[in-house]
Structure 1
Amino acid sequence: MSQVPVSRLARGIVVVVLAGFTGVYLLAGSLLAIVAFGLQLVYVFRSLRRFRRPWLLAVQAAVGYTATLGFGDSVGLLGFLGGSLLLTPAWPLAPLVAISAAVIGPADPAISMVLIALLIYGLTRLTERVEEVHAARLALAMVAADEERLRIAAELSDGIGRGLAAIVGGVRLVLERPERTAEVLGEVVGTARRSLADTRNAAAGYRATSLAPEVTTARAMLAAAGITAEVRVGHSEPLGPAGALLAAVLREAVTEVLRQNTARTCVIETTAADGTVRLRVTHDGARTAQDESLADLVRQAGQAGGGISTSLSAEGRLTVEAVLPGTHGPVEAVEDPGAYRLSLALLAAVLAGFSVKALLLVPGSLAVPAAVCLAVIVVMQIRSITGRHPRALVLMALLTYLPIPVFGKAWLGIAGFLAGPVLLALPWAVAWPLVGCVMASVAVSAVLLGLPFPLTVNFTASTLVTGLVVYGLVRLAQLVKELQQARQALARSAVVEERLRAARDLHDLLGHSLAAILLKCELARRLDPGRARAELEDVLAMAEKAETDLRVVSGERQAMSLAVEAESARSVLVAAGIEVELVLAHEAHEGHEGLPAEVENALGTVLREAVTNVLRHSAARHCAITTVAEEGVVSLRVRNDGVGPAGGRPGSAGIGNLTTRLAALDGRLGTAREDGWFELTAQAPVARRPSPLPTG
């Protein structure tokens, strides 16, 4: 789900609903409705927040009461004032406005005033909640990644860390007491071998938490063998312990396809439902339904509470299917029921209000059957907030039109309850023409009932407005839920990226180091004491370096690494669906021995803040992160193409803190906007310039 479009959609819904109410009053001849609408937009758009002052409420009150008392317009217009009051600390005055509306006008428009006030409050609050949930996505992703980093550190320290410490201690003992070389060196070799196996197993385990690398490898191997591969991914990651076993099943199934070398097509499919994860591999090159290579995996799947089966179709297509309990790593969905409850309460209040307005027009003898029909409609409307219900839509259509001959004009306003679910349940290309038909049917019904033209127009326009109200309340609640799900997905992606990073580092750093340590230890056992000592001194240096690598892998580093931060930023941005260009050339400065720690920390912090702003304040699709070193100055530049009218927020507290941090290093921070791109540049000298010596 992209970023700014979500915000625009939420606020667009509010504007459309408010415009609908305004249109009804304009059709009734209230020209001041346009002014009331314009003033209300101050509470809708954050960019107009500076105008939210007490004098604005006074202006709204003047407009509302001038329209109602001076020009005789409907007291429903006071709903704009009431909604604004509910959004401010002056909310206790809102009931007084409602009372004044009841005194000035009849019951029907007074009820409309209360409904409009509640809707303005509810829609605005729901929109703000949408933005809050969206803004919290990055925070949750980073927390999840940090927690996963701590978990990885604990796992590695318990196993590989102790092994490296034992290797260092053993080698030092041999160097100090050569007479114990044979005894101790044998133990060191055994420890190195176990540590290497642990490293490889850990790397495989972290990698297998996600099926994505295994699927990518399988597709590449099948393509290289001339087999057409089709992949359908329907699960979310990380998969936890189930991932490793499913990866092994996929690996064995694809290996068997390649070994037989008779298949032309292969389909790899994953699904997740009812607490289970299912992997299905189907190919057309089978000779038998038996696959002995899966025997051990079948046993493991049974122990894990799942199962593996094979089946051969009449067309000769073999399917290997593995089903395991779904266990998603450390990121658990945390539902926030606040927005749902608010939308549900508002929807119930609005439906009740519209129902009361309809009952006011029903003859007393028909009030009970009308109330029963309205109760059924209200229940179905509330159910629509949880999804699409086509059968309920048909029943709602019947309850909309069949009672019209019985209840007359009182039932014409119910058509709006049908328009809202139509907009929610169907694609807009179908929904809007149907809503037009509903409005036309209301107009025709009003003419057949002999209603005057102004009342016919009012009922027709109100049908659209009511439909938009129902759509707006339900859609905003759904947006919050969708964003919560997207936030959880981003957090899971961050965890997957962190585990894959650890797997890569374990393989590339520790794996090679431990393999070299094992080789040199084995060599030292076969050499004379003098030559063995030289090899063991190398082993000691390599083991100490491996301990440093282990701290890097597990994230236990005191100084921030700009390169590591850049990779982390890339992972989070990619997880958010943003294309990243990463070019790091800051190590090219003359006499490079690594950037000073304070420069690494400052630029790393700038990069974190820049990425935070890209995700929170822009709708970027592309982001470029580059570093360069020229004339003793290292520059970091972050550019993204999602700048808005206030893109980048150069005056925010975060940017101010970074400016101060860089100034302490004689560096500087700059921002620029051009052609829809926002650029943040940070510069810091590699070496602090010495203060000039006093002269004279």
Structure 2
Amino acid sequence: MPRSDAGGGVSQVPVPRLARAIVVVVLAGLTSVYLLAGSPLAIVAFGLQLVYVLRSLRRFRRPWLLILQALVGYAATLGFGTSVGLLGFLGGSLLLTPAWPLAPLVAVSAAVVGPADPAISMVLVALVVYGLTRLTDRVEEMHAARLAMALAAAAEERLRIATGLSDGLGRGLTAIATGVRSVMDRPEGSVEILGEVVGTARGFLADARNAAAGYRATSLVPEMTTARAMLTAAAIKAETRVGHSEPLGPAGALLASVLREVVTEAVRQNTARTCVIETTTADGMVRLRVSHDGARTVEDEGLADLARQLSQAGGRLTTGLSAEGWLAVDAVLPESPAEATEDPGAYRLSVALLTAVLVGFSIKALLFVPANLVVPAAACLAVIVIMQIRWISGRHMGALALLVLLAYLPIPVFGRAWLGSAGFLAGPVLLAFPWAVAWPLVGCVMASVAVSAVLLGLPLPLTVNFTASTLVTGLVVYGLLELARLVKELQEVRQALARSAVVEERLRAARDLHDLLGHSMAAILLKCELARRLDPARARAELEDVLVMAEKAEADLRVVSGGRPAMSLAEEGESARSVLAAADIEVELDFAHEELSPEVENVLGTVLREAVTNVLRHSSARYCLITTVVEESVVRLRVRNDGVRSSGGRPGSAGIGNLTTRLAVLDGGLGTVREDGWFELTAQVPSFSPVG
């Protein structure tokens, strides 16, 4: 039978199949009790019950099925003297259908026909049948809907992003286009209006970058990717080990700042040859450790400020030497609590059913306890019930040892009434150990019950009944506990998938804001600044370019809001030539590629935009060469400029990490070379890469 391991992780068996297998085994265990009592019709009742459990038989769920179950149940109990507990199959089936009001009538008939003990068994069997079947249905629903929930969360986040960007950045673009048209229509006030346009463009660019940083702040992994790219570009071997779960929320933003500061300083000092970046989580804290074999001390005002921020957030930042003599920077912060968005109804149902069944079994036991011992017996059973319910969230050997004592020590006091309590031990044993260990232990528990029954002088049929009931009770407890755990686990999985989908959507928006809209706004700002310095005739030509760029930026904004990008590498090349020429940079454009897939056009167009933006922002270039070449179905884009600044500047950018991520999706890669005052960025990707 498929099962979860002792640590709670599910085996290779799919969760819905595991849940159905648990129900079938438990129902088979219940059936075995009536078979041992000499009722072959119990097999028929079991087969009919499977219609409500197995997906392949659900087409037979019809009103006539309930009639057939009733005929079998009452024929067995009234015609062949089978225990009325068998009617629990009928009662459970009624509870699963619109005919559920008839279930209490079946319970009443069981109480009329049989004594109290079997009548209680009938109610318990009905609850077990209903509860296990409903929980299995819920497990299947939650498992099937987990991806749909993630997609819905992503769509909701995309809509929220689109609304926010439209309200803020969209209005800024409209203001820029309106201002430029005013200058073109009324040249006499151009200087003042252009000044306002430049101010708007500068603010717009800052807003776009802040928005991108805000979307990235929920996740530390992209910053680790960027750091790795920066280190590799500086010829520093980088190792990253991710030991945390995303998203980290505010904690991720602070840790990303620490990582950025340490890596930037390591690249600036240029003394390290290897750098290790790792994250771990323990006891509600997330830890970032950055260590390298470069400088042995850190004198960085940025880190001192970050240390204060971490302290205010309940964390700490320390620096020192590792055992290997490397400089190590450790940042520790409390994990941001995850938002609980899942409906807990199914989990509460499982706990309520488990409680009802445990209480029912306890009442059955108390029926055979002498009146003067009812109170202490009830107290012991209450402890057992509470421990069983707590087992949903953990399996502890200490608690298991206590259950052993509660199962065996009271037997000399309470006699045969206490033999059934061994079933409360069998269930947790099945949960606590792997099958290879659990089943022999359960066999030992059953054997101990048989021995105890013999020592108490019970007749053979009663001894067999108690022994079999131990296994059945254990299976029922195991089934309810395991299904409760599966429901809770699926809730957590759904929440994790939804959070991951939201994080991915935010990171996508951050990449597009930085790579697409950021470039467009930098180009608009440059053109507007240039127009302010030119005569009206030449300025008009530049402003016409600004209007074209504003339209392009509006298209970029739609992409950031969730639209599909559609770039042309050739058009991006001409745009790059125009923007760089406006900055007095000579451009040589040599494209040797032919037809490319749309995905490749998009990603290489994005790479070219980022490369041009970095030439404008981070270099003093006077010449830039942009080329493409296709070799063995691989297209390579190279952007080379002669404007490398001194190593004292801040190297790298979030764009490098973004581009690395985009290219990796298409099985591509990014490389950088810096030598003799020249900087070259190379991106390569299969020319007809499919979407990853």
Whether these two folds match at TM > 0.5 is: yes
Alignment correspondent of 1:188: 197
Mark the runs of 5 or more structure 2 residues left unpaired by the alignment: 1-9, 568-595, 601-689
User: 1:14 aligned to 12, 23, 42, which one?
Assistant: 23
Per-residue CA deviation, residues 140-179 of structure 1 (Å, 9 max, x unaligned), is: 3334323322332344334433332222122111111222
> What per-residue deviation string (whole Å, max 9, x for no partner) do you get for residues 28-82 of structure 1?
2211111100101111234433322221111111111111222222221111111
2-structure distance, mates of 1:112, 1:515: 76
For each residue in 1:378-415, what CA deviation from the matched residue of structure 2 results, as whole angstroms up to 9, or x when unmatched? 22112222322332211110111122233333222111
SS in 1 for 2:14: helix
Q: What does 1:55-134 correspond to in 2, within 5 Å?
A: 55-134=64-143
Tell me which residue corresponds to 2:360. 353
| Helix, strand or coil at the partner of 1:332 | coil
Per the alignment, residue 51 of structure 1 pairs with 60
SS in 2 for 1:95: helix
- Report whether the alignment pairs 1:294 with 2:310: no
Residue matched to 1:403: 410
Q: Aligned partner of 1:166: which letter?
A: A
**Could you say what secondary structure the match of 2:241 adopts?**
strand
* Contact 2:275-2:290 within 8 A present in 1 as well: no
1:375 aligned onto 2:382: yes
- Structure-2 change in CA distance of 1:220 and 1:439 (3 Å): farther
- Distance between the aligned counterparts of 2:448 and 2:264, measured in 1? 64
Name the SS of the counterpart of 2:243 in structure 1: strand
User: Aligned partners of 1:180, 1:49: CA distance in 2, in Å?
Assistant: 78
> In structure 2, what is the equivalent of residue 39 of structure 1?
48
CA contact (8 A) 1:75 1:110 kept: yes
- Alpha carbons 2:271, 2:295 under 8 Å: kept: no
Counterpart for residue 452 of structure 2: 445
**How many residues matched?**
565
How far apart, in 1, do the equivalents of 2:28 and 2:293 lie?
Answer: 59
Q: 1:253 aligns with which of 262, 266, 276?
A: 262
SS of the residue aligned with 2:317?
A: strand
Matched AA of 1:392:
A
CA apart distance, 1:136: 4.0
Q: Between Structure 1 and Structure 2, whose CA radius of gyration is higher?
A: 2
Q: In structure 1, what is the equivalent of residue 424 of structure 2?
A: 417
RMSD of equivalent CA atoms: 3.3
Map residues 581-592 of structure 1 onto 2, 5 A cutoff: none
Q: 1:398 to 1:260 in 2, by over 3 A?
A: farther
2:417 and 2:182 map into 1 onto residues whose CA distance is: 96
Q: CA offset at residue 206 of structure 1?
A: 1.9
Evaluate the alpha carbon distance shift between residue 37 and residue 402 of structure 1 in structure 2; reply closer, same or farther with a 3 A threshold: same
Are the equivalent residues in 2 in contact too, given 1:266–1:284 (CA < 8 A)?
Answer: no
Is 1:207–1:499's contact at 8 Å kept on the other side of the alignment?
yes
Distance 2:320 2:436 in 1: 43
Change (3 A) 1:384 1:216: same
Tell me the amino acid that sits aligned with residue 18 of structure 1.
L
Aligned partner of 2:513 in structure 1 is 506
Question: Does 2:222 match 1:213?
Answer: yes
Return the alpha-carbon distance in structure 2 between the equivalents of residues 196 and 64 of structure 1.
76
Distance of aligned partners of 1:176 and 1:223 in 2 relative to their CA distance in 1, 3 Å threshold: closer
For the 8 Å contact 2:272–2:292, the answer to whether it is kept is no
1:169 equivalent in structure 2: 178
Contact 1:208–1:214 under 8 Å retained in 2: no
- The offset of 1:267, in angstroms, is 4.8
1:236 to 2:243 alignment: no
Report how far residue 327 of structure 1 moved: 4.4
Q: Is the 8 A contact 2:110 2:119 kept in 1?
A: yes
Relative to 1, partners in 2 of residues 1:284 and 1:545: Cα closer, same or farther, differing over 3 Å? closer
Equivalent runs, 1:142-161 vs 2, <5 Å: 142-161=151-170
Using the TM superposition, give the Cα deviation of residue 304 of structure 1 relative to its aligned residue in structure 2, in angstroms.
Answer: 5.1
Instruction: Note the C-alpha offset of 1:278.
Output: 4.0
- Give the C-alpha shift of residue 289 in structure 1: 6.7
Contact 2:415 2:456 in 1 (8 A): yes
1:326–1:375 Cα change, 3 Å: closer
Aligned CA distance change for structure 1 residues 534 and 283 (closer, same or farther; 3 Å): closer
Tell me the equivalent position of 2:317: 308
AA paired with 2:391? S
The unaligned stretches of length 5 or more in structure 1 are 565-583, 589-637, 639-696
Secondary structure at 2:81 match in 1: coil
Could you tell me how far 1:294 is from its partner in structure 2?
A: 0.8
When residues 410 and 220 of structure 1 are mapped into structure 2, their CA distance, relative to the original with a 3 A threshold, is farther
1:634 match = none
CA distance in 2, matches of 1:409, 1:317: 69
Seen in structure 2, the aligned counterparts of structure 1 residues 563 and 195 have a Cα distance that, compared at 3 Å, is: closer
Q: Which amino acid is the alignment partner of residue 229 of structure 1?
A: E
Residue range with higher mean Cα deviation, 199-208 or 255-264:
255-264
> d(CA) in 2 for partners of 1:195 and 1:524?
18
Within 2, Cα distance between the matches of 1:531 and 1:219? 44
Which structure 2 residues correspond to residues 564-579 of structure 1 after superposition, within 5 A? Answer: none
> Using a 3 Å threshold, how does the CA distance of structure 1 residues 88 and 455 change in structure 2: closer, same or farther?
same
CA distance in 1, matches of 2:324, 2:565: 56
Deviation string for 1:451-505 (max 9, x for gaps)? 3433333222211111111111122122221111111111111111111111222
Residues of 2 paired with 1:2 and 1:374: CA distance?
33
Distance 1:474 1:563, change over 3 A: farther
Distance 1:92 1:159, change over 3 A: closer
Instruction: Decide whether aligned partners of structure 1 residues 291 and 586 sit closer, same or farther in structure 2, where only a CA change above 3 A counts.
Output: closer
Q: State the match for 2:433 in structure 1.
A: 426
Q: When the two structures are superposed, what TM-score results if normalisation uses the length of structure 2?
A: 0.74
Contact 1:348-1:382 at 8 Å conserved across structures: yes
Indicate the percent of aligned positions where both proteins have the same amino acid. 77
Residue 661 of structure 2 is matched in structure 1 by: none
Q: Which amino acid aligns with 1:384?
A: W
Inter-partner Cα distance in structure 2 for 1:2 and 1:508: 42
Distance 1:77 1:296, change over 3 A: same
Deviation digits for residues 209-255 of structure 1, max 9, x if unmatched? 21121223445666785657351422331x33433222111122334
1:271 — aligned with what? 281
- Conserved? CA contact 1:3–1:134, under 8 Å: no
- Choose 159-168 or 108-117, whichever is displaced more: 159-168
- Relative distance call for 1:499 and 1:526 in structure 2 (3 A) is same
Distance in structure 2 (CA, Å) of the matches to 1:219 and 1:444:
67
Change (3 A) 1:435 1:562: farther
Q: Cα deviations across residues 538-589 of structure 1 (Å, max 9, x unaligned)?
A: 111111221232133124x6xxx5989xxxxxxxxxxxxxxxxxxx97999x
Quick check: 1:458 aligned with 2:494? no
CA deviations 1:624-663 (Å, max 9, x no partner) are: xxxxxxxxxxxxxx9xxxxxxxxxxxxxxxxxxxxxxxxx
Q: Is the contact between residue 95 and residue 130 of structure 2 (CA under 8 Å) also seen in structure 1?
A: yes
Change in Cα spacing, 1:549 to 1:272, as seen in structure 2 (3 Å) is farther
Structure 2: distance between partners of 1:420 and 1:104: 31
Letter in 1 for 2:73: G
Q: Classify the secondary structure of the residue corresponding to 1:437.
A: helix
Task: Tell me whether 363-372 or 298-307 shows the greater mean CA deviation.
Answer: 298-307
Letter in 1 for 2:383: V
Asked if the contact 1:298/1:308 (under 8 Å) is kept, the reply is yes
Counterpart contact for 2:23–2:132, Cα < 8 Å? yes
Instruction: State the Cα distance separating 1:132 from its structure 2 match.
Output: 3.2
What letter is aligned with 1:205? Answer: G
Q: CA deviation at 1:257?
A: 4.8
Structure 1 residue 367 displacement after superposition: 3.4
